[in-house]
A and B are shown apart, each in its own frame.
Chain A
């Protein structure tokens, strides 16, 4: 309750500053907040209960939910408009540099510092705050924290027949993959045709060893390729020039690895993107699928996925070449405030962010089973919740040794060029991975090279987020 009183106090203080006499117990009476958001777990859960926020603060909240492809386009257009429609913007962390360099997002550092205790700043995994920063400024607040990890069919991995067959074929024990070779073996092993047996049962339809995103739409393939590339030891930029460096050995190997998985993927692999890819896992039609943890929670909810009814999901961190962990990429799905709105609207929007990302709400969502990918240590480390959501432990552990995902102002160019070029390579239109990566990097660098090297280096420099500096 203490948190709530404080929040009300802060809010009424602001309201008084704005000269509103009415705002005694409902500090934002009459304020209308609109959010340009996504129709996925980080928003849909909250959208159902915004009326509670309205009751508490008086501010009306309307959330427009759009699909991920095209959402950034609308946000850019909104950001370039002088008359903003949306006070709140949903932000995928790779966009932070793009929107930050354009001055589209309100710096939240002072708000977060002011309300540090209320929001439990120390409770948030530090890299999640870093993930939302640009040049040290906190531009968005995490509403969902992510890592790229492996989902697998725990029930099949536990099946004695399958274990024995695997051991016989590959001479080692069937277990969650820690190397890419193991990942490949498992995908190959579980690829079965209709009529074959899986865990003793005759299959009524094909079963796929693996499901990854290969679609070019909104660069979907890059959202799997980049974490895999990281697992091979690669990274985005050349630290000396600030140019695209994704043409090296780890990058090529990662692309070739993804292509080697194609035979184990569904026939429509070139159309696979987030929801379609995770759909195969959720329906229990694939043995293994690595993706961002935003939708992982669905694998534990029988109302959202078939898998909990017909088997069991297992979770592990992303593999590496030699099995020794590489710092994995993190991601954040966050809420930000449009820089162009009035101070009162900013305060109201901040109040909404605080409410919507609070431990109380997060815990409640987790308790109700409609959780999201969490970003608070207190929740991820809660033994009861870890029991309920086994992937919480994976989330918590991997983020201890994690690296920030791409945040460059030219992210759109990277996503689109790599999306198209990698997709063409996977489809066989481009002969080699090297050629595809060269094409993509050349396209990106053709735009970057016209800027001075100092500017390019600044763009790839991940300055520590100031909100965490005491």
Chain B
């Protein structure tokens, strides 16, 4: 028995080796290197600055920095808005596209397109839409007599504009996940409710939603991680501006690392946000387990 086990373990090890190697090279090593950097004064553009060990100075700087806290606030604000709309609209669309109506399959496919586009391209598409002078959006609102709105160039609108683009791109993800879950739900409770005469709202609130809860939590969890990292769309549309109105965590880290070339500070900021996102994950998993037990 012991021999077989040992042998199986060896074989398992051999099969795992490529995965472990790739994981090490692409994830673990860069992460360890980033950890190493986070304790150093490392300016990529200025090799004449000694790249010395600075203890927790980088972390201290990040945690006491107004811009970092500001970017954290912007990130969570954006996350709250985009996730709310993505889930409300996404679940609504999922309910719609799972109806057995003619043409729904085609509509469903069309609705998935935004999700399949690279975020940079999405950014560019919305750049054309938002463009102040020549943009489509201002053209169309001009037709109904509204003055042009500086969508991405005013502090009042920029975050909203980014939220709209992000909602446009990721609502289909929520829709797809929810639609899949809806289709896997047993139809019989619905027929029971139909016979009992429960209203559509009641059926949605008390029958559908509770059954979707585990899936919605998983989707929320995936979306939250993604929303926390939001970068591409903002980079294309506003680069964090105007002022610092749309500067999220990822842009803050980018700016520290690749504008100021302070790799150490950038790495420290990355780890701080990693810790924040890990706490989020843990909370999500806890609540997921709770809802699983409750079933």
Point out residues on A near B: beta carbons under 8 Å.
69, 73, 76-77, 79-80, 98, 101-103, 214-218, 266-272, 409, 412-413, 416, 420, 423-424, 426-430, 447
Q: Pick the contact of A427: B148, B149, B154 (CB < 8 A).
A: B154
A73 to B149 alpha-carbon distance, docked (Å): 32
User: How many whole Å from A162's CB to the nearest CB in chain B?
Assistant: 24
Q: List 9 A–B pairs whose Cβ atoms lie within 8 Å, in order of A's numbering.
A: A98-B45, A102-B45, A267-B153, A268-B133, A268-B150, A271-B153, A271-B241, A412-B260, A427-B242
Docked Cα-Cα span, A420 to B70, in Å, equals 13
Q: Are A429 and B244 in contact (CB under 8 A)?
A: yes
Shortest beta-carbon distance from B239 to chain A in Å: 5
Q: Is there a chain A Cβ closer than 8 Å to B30's Cβ?
A: no
Q: A412 to B46, alpha carbons, bound, how many Å?
A: 11
Q: Give the complex CA separation of A63 and B242 in angstroms.
A: 32
> Which B residues between 31 and 51 are near A, CB-CB below 8 angstroms?
44-48
Contact of B260 among A77, A269, A416, A428 (CB under 8 A): A416
Instruction: Check if A267 sits within 8 Å of B242, measured CB to CB.
Output: no
Provide the B213-248 mask, 1 if CB < 8 A to any CB of A, else 0.
000000000000000000000000001111111000
Inter-chain contacts of A269 with B (CB < 8 A): 150, 153
- Cβ contact of B241, chosen from A73, A216, A413, A430, cutoff 8 A: A216
- B259 sits at the interface (CB 8 A): yes
In the complex, what distance in Å separates the CA atom of A76 from the CA atom of B44?
8
User: Considering the chains assembled together, what is the distance between the CA atoms of A447 and B57 in angstroms?
Assistant: 13
In the complex, are the beta carbons of A416 and B259 less than 8 A apart? yes
B155 at the interface (CB under 8 A from A): yes
Q: B255: CB under 8 A from chain A?
A: yes
Nearest-Cβ distance from residue A425 to partner chain B, whole angstroms: 8
With A270-B155, A427-B154 already in contact, the answer to whether A216 and B46 are too (CB < 8 A) is no
Q: Tell me whether chain A's interface is mostly helix, strand or loop, or mixed.
A: helix
Beyond A270-B155, A423-B241, A424-B244, 12 additional contacts (C-beta under 8 Å) are: A102-B46, A214-B242, A216-B240, A267-B149, A270-B154, A271-B242, A272-B153, A409-B46, A420-B241, A426-B243, A427-B242, A429-B245
CB pair A270 B47 closer than 8 Å:
no
| A161 CB to nearest B CB, Å | 27
Say yes or no for B132: interface residue by CB 8 A criterion: yes
Is the C-beta of B152 less than 8 angstroms from some C-beta in chain A?
Answer: yes
Chain B residues within 8 Å of A416, by CB: 255, 259-260
B258 interfacial contact with A, CB 8 Å: yes
The CA-CA distance from A224 to B262 in the complex, in Å, is 26
A412 near B153 (CB under 8 angstroms)? Answer: no
Contact present for B133 and A266 (CB under 8 Å): yes
Chain A residues with CB below 8 A from B45, complex form: 76, 79-80, 98, 102, 412
- The residue of chain A having its C-beta at the shortest distance from the C-beta of B61 within the complex is A446
Any chain A CB within 8 A of the CB of B85? no
From A409, which residue of chain B is reached at the shortest CB distance? Answer: B46
Query: Are A429 and B243 interface neighbours, CB within 8 A?
Result: yes
Q: Does B261 contact A (CB under 8 A)?
A: yes
Chain B interface residue number, banded: 20 to 34
What does DSSP make chain B's interface, helix, strand, loop or mixed? Answer: loop
Q: In the complex, what's the smallest C-beta–C-beta distance from B215 to chain A, in angstroms?
A: 39
Contact present for A76 and B261 (CB under 8 Å): yes
Cβ-defined contact, B239 with A217, below 8 A: yes
Given the known interface contacts A412-B45, A420-B244, A427-B243, the answer about A268 and B153 at a Cβ–Cβ threshold of 8 Å is yes
Contact between chains at A101 and B261 (CB < 8 Å): no
Q: Which residues of A contact B259 (CB under 8 A)?
A: 73, 412, 416
Q: Tell me the bound Cα distance from A451 to B245 in angstroms.
A: 32
* Contact flag A215-B46 (CB < 8 Å), given A270-B153, A270-B155: no
Q: How far is the CB of B257 from chain A (nearest CB, A)?
A: 10
In the A-B complex, the 7 residue pairs with the closest CB atoms: A271-B153, A268-B132, A424-B243, A270-B242, A268-B153, A216-B241, A270-B153
The docked-state distance in angstroms from the alpha carbon of A272 to that of B245 is: 16
Q: Is the CB of A217 within 8 A of B46?
A: no
**Which of B47, B149, B241 is the one whose CB lies under 8 Å from A215?**
B241
Nearest residue, chain A, Cβ from B158: A270
Q: Is the CB of B241 within 8 A of A270?
A: yes
Taken together as a complex, chains A and B put the C-alpha atoms of A416 and B44 apart, in Å, by: 16
CB distance from A356 to the nearest CB of B (A): 27
Residues of A within 8 A of B241 (CB): 215-217, 270-271, 420, 423
Q: Is B239's CB under 8 angstroms from A267's CB?
A: no
Check A270/B239 contact, CB under 8 A, given A77-B44, A428-B155.
no
Could you tell me if A427 and B155 are in contact, using CB atoms closer than 8 angstroms?
A: yes
Chain A residues near B153 (CB-CB < 8 A)? 215, 267-272
Instruction: Flag if B47 contacts A271 (CB, 8 Å).
Output: no
Q: Which residues of B contact A424 (CB under 8 A)?
A: 242-244
**Chain B residue at minimal CB-CB distance from A428:** B155
Contacts of A103 in B (CB 8 A): 47
B128-150 interface (Cβ within 8 A of A): 132-133, 148-150
Q: How far is the CB of B254 from chain A (nearest CB, A)?
A: 10
Assess whether B242 is in contact with A216, with CB atoms less than 8 Å apart: yes
Which single residue of chain B is at the shortest CB-CB distance from A268?
Answer: B132
For B260, what are the chain A residues with a Cβ–Cβ distance below 8 Å? Answer: 412-413, 416, 447
Instruction: Give the complex CA separation of A86 and B258 in angstroms.
Output: 19
* A101 touching B155, Cβ below 8 Å: no
- In the assembly, what is the distance between CA of A428 and CA of B243, in Å? 9
Given A80-B44, A429-B155, A267 contacting B245 (CB threshold 8 A)? no
A385 to B65, CA, bound (A): 54
Min CB distance, A101 to chain B, in Å? 6
Task: Name which residue of chain A comes closest to B242, CB basis.
Answer: A270
B242: chain A residues within 8 A (beta carbon): 214-216, 270-271, 423-424, 426-427
The smallest C-beta distance from A399 to any residue of chain B, in angstroms, reads 30
Give the residues in chain A near B239, CB-CB below 8 Å: 69, 216-218
- Say how far A395's CB is from chain B's closest CB, in angstroms: 29
Q: What separation, in Å, do the CA atoms of A260 and B242 have in the docked complex? A: 18
Could you say which residues of chain A place their CB within 8 Å of the CB of B261?
Answer: 76, 412
- Smallest CB separation, A430 vs chain B (Å): 8
Expressed in whole angstroms, the minimum distance between the Cβ of A456 and any Cβ of chain B is 13
Please give, as numbers and ranges, the residues of chain B lying within 8 Å of A79 by CB-CB distance.
45
Within 8 A of A (CB), among B1-56: 44-48
